[in-house]
Amino acid sequence: MTGTTADIGTIETTTTLSGKTALVTGSGRGIGRGIALSLAQAGADVAVADLDHGMAQETAALVEKAGRRSVALHVDVTQTASVTKMVKDVESTLGPLDIASNNAGVIGIYPIEKLTATEWDRVMAVNLRGVFLCTQAEINVMRTRHYGRIVNTASIAGKVGFPGISHYSASKFAVIGFTNAVAKEVATDGITVNALCPGIVGTAMWRGDTGLAEKWKEEAETEEQSWARQVAAFIPQQQAQTPDDMGRLVVYLANAEHVTGQAIAVDGGFSL
């Protein structure tokens, strides 16, 4: 293909993931569940991996309801043996791994003077070490077949530092750096590696008893009012994003042969 107009009729686009096997970590709920269902709707069989096996089983049942094969796997992404077993189990149940969304993540809110080394290590272990261990295990099998699509969930907090969540921001900046470097390392192996940067999504991480909306409440504000204020303050489009929005980007990246090393925000303009 030379890219001339005369060649346009010969351009082939792949819009289906039918016949592909995908893995999504942290997909028992929230954004990960949205990604798993988007991949299933695009035709992929999807392995659902989470620390919470009960929630993983719920998502796997939804994938099956969408007409695709699924398996619920218990994984702790911070543990090498657990991650190695996860990838092995995906391949023995669903087939060769084509697409991986390394999405499991945790957050904590501490001003710098209150941030302990233990809390620093907890967040880094899941958000950064977890992404490293999963990416490494996935590349090990993808390289042998010269094909793979990896999408690491970073955050808008990986592009802009946020006060009160400095360790979380640091972990997400690092995910973007890691993604960029590894993408170059495997660029001739048929494997793309990209990062997804969600903006504000109303999952358990942001909403509910333990979410950011509750913890960042101003005096006399309800959780609902705090949420609405944060969405209005941060997002030019004045609307929160959804797990489906994140899933659609992952489906795009799963199809995109020549997009690699990117950190793509789905954030309603938050990072502009």
Ligand X SMILES: NC(=O)c1ccc[n+]([C@@H]2O[C@H](COP(=O)([O-])OP(=O)(O)OC[C@H]3O[C@@H](n4cnc5c(N)ncnc54)[C@H](O)[C@@H]3O)[C@@H](O)[C@H]2O)c1
Residues that bind ligand X (CB under 6 A): 25-26, 28-32, 50-52, 55, 75-78, 103-106, 126, 130, 153, 155-156, 198, 200-201, 203-206
**CA pair distance 158, 161, nearest whole angstrom:** 7
- Show contacts of 237-240: CB within 8 Å, 24+ apart: 237/268, 237/269, 238/268, 239/268, 240/199, 240/200, 240/201, 240/202, 240/268
Both tokens of residue 80?
A: 């090498």
Give least dist CB 124 to ligand X, A: 12
Would you call 78 helix, strand, or coil by DSSP?
A: coil
Separation CA 92–CA 233 (nearest Å): 47
For ligand X, which is the closer residue by CB, 133 or 254? 133
Smallest distance from the beta carbon of 133 to ligand X, in angstroms? 10
Cβ nearer to ligand X, comparing 20 with 227: 227
Would you say 44 or 231 has its CB closer to ligand X?
231
Catalytic-role residue among 110, 147, 168, 252: 168
CA 221 to chain centre: 31
- Closest distance to ligand X from the beta carbon of 85 (Å): 13
DSSP code string of 85-97: HHHHHHHHHT-S-
Min dist. Cβ of residue 207 to ligand X (A) = 8
Q: How far apart are CA 182 and CA 179, in angstroms?
A: 5
Which amino acid, 260? T
Q: How far is the CB of 184 from ligand X (least distance, A)?
A: 23
Q: Is 168 part of the annotated catalytic residue set?
A: yes
Cβ nearer to ligand X, comparing 77 with 97: 77
Q: Report residue 63 as tokens.
A: 């994938």
Pick the closer one to ligand X by CB: 105 or 148: 105
Cα separation, 13 vs 27, whole angstroms: 28
What residues are labeled active site? Answer: 168
